[in-house]
Amino acid sequence: MPSRASAFITSICIFTLWSPAAVQSFAADEPLARITVKAGKHTRIDTPVSVALDGITYTELALYEIKGSHRSPVAKKIEPGNPPRLWWILDGTTRPGEERIYELMEGRSYAERSVLVLITRNDAFLEIETRGSKILRYNHAVVPPPQGQSELFSRSGFIHPLWSPSGDVLTNIHPPDHIHHLGIWMPWTHTKFQGKDVDFWNLKEGQGTVRFVKFLSTTSGSVYGGFQAEHDHV
């Protein structure tokens, strides 16, 4: 019987950059918080930003950008944690030295209906896409090796394809000179279990492999999306 040598979590979340934001809290009859985002010395283009929601416990929150006397709803996502974090996209171009003002209110806005990062899943793989363009595919079913190759090169729990923004495929699996390579994968090479040296990377040695176990979470949303999966090193 094979032994379970270890289990670990692989987390994939799609973000880009982070920009600092300052939070100023207000009284109960005013916005819950006013947030000033400073571009600093760099041009920011569609940049995700986040702030910690210390002391804010409302279950329904709406975010608005303030431009003069005009208030525009902004899609946001709350990341669970202690404290939770508020995420949104600093959409468009924000030039060096510029500041943008946001207000956090109790309630919901129609901006929450949009989905920027979408997760889809079937019996073989999970895919992440944005605005109709694919980002990556995570293979949770076992993918066999090319015909004529040893079954030792069968594996699950890896990313392929990974697509560029223009749609080019950036990864490969089972290349002729490295049959054991599978896109973006997560094997340990130099390990020891119960006194034995085990190599989970060089599959031809037959010492070990990595198997997908289960999904722990998947997240689609208007700001970010991703998944968590559990693997066994066997």
Distance CA 231, CA 234 (A): 9
Mean pLDDT of 149-163: 97
Distances (CA, A) of 79 to 52, 180, 183, 208, 224: 9, 36, 29, 36, 10
160, with CB counted inside 10 A (0-12, 13-18, 19+), is: buried
Give the pLDDT confidence of 3-45 residue by residue, as tens digits. Answer: 444 344 444 444 433 344 554 444 445 789 999 999 999 999 9
pLDDT score, position 14 = 47
Give the pLDDT confidence of 46-58 residue by residue, as tens digits. Answer: 999 999 998 887 7
pLDDT score, position 81 = 87
pLDDT score, position 67 = 92
In terms of average pLDDT, the best of 2-11, 79-88, 117-126 is 117-126
Asked if residue 34 lies in contact with residue 101, where contact means CB atoms within 8 angstroms, the answer is: yes
Say which residue the tokens 């689609």 belong to: 220
Mean pLDDT, the chain, integer = 86
pLDDT score, position 54 = 87
Whether pLDDT at 1 is above 80: no
Strand partners, 193: 196
Give the chain's length. Answer: 234
Binning pLDDT at 50, 70 and 90, where does residue 131 land?
Answer: confident
Distance CA 101, CA 172 (A): 44
Distance CA 44, CA 181 (A): 37
Question: What backbone torsions phi and psi does residue 229 show, to the nearest 5 degrees?
Answer: -130, 145
Cα 132 from chain centroid (whole Å): 17
Kindly report the number of other CB atoms within 10 A of residue 184's CB atom. Answer: 16
> Cis peptide leading into 31, omega within 30 of 0?
no
pLDDT score, position 24 = 47
Distances (CA, A) of 39 to 49, 54, 71, 192: 11, 23, 20, 48
Instruction: Using DSSP, state whether 207 is helix, strand or coil.
Output: coil
Mean pLDDT of 190-213: 94
pLDDT score, position 128 = 97
pLDDT score, position 113 = 65
pTM (two decimals): 0.76
For residue 76, give every residue at least 6 positions away whose Cβ sits within 8 Å of its Cβ, in sequence order, or none: 61, 62, 63, 86, 87, 88, 111, 112, 222, 223
pLDDT score, position 19 = 43
190, with CB counted inside 10 A (0-12, 13-18, 19+), is: exposed
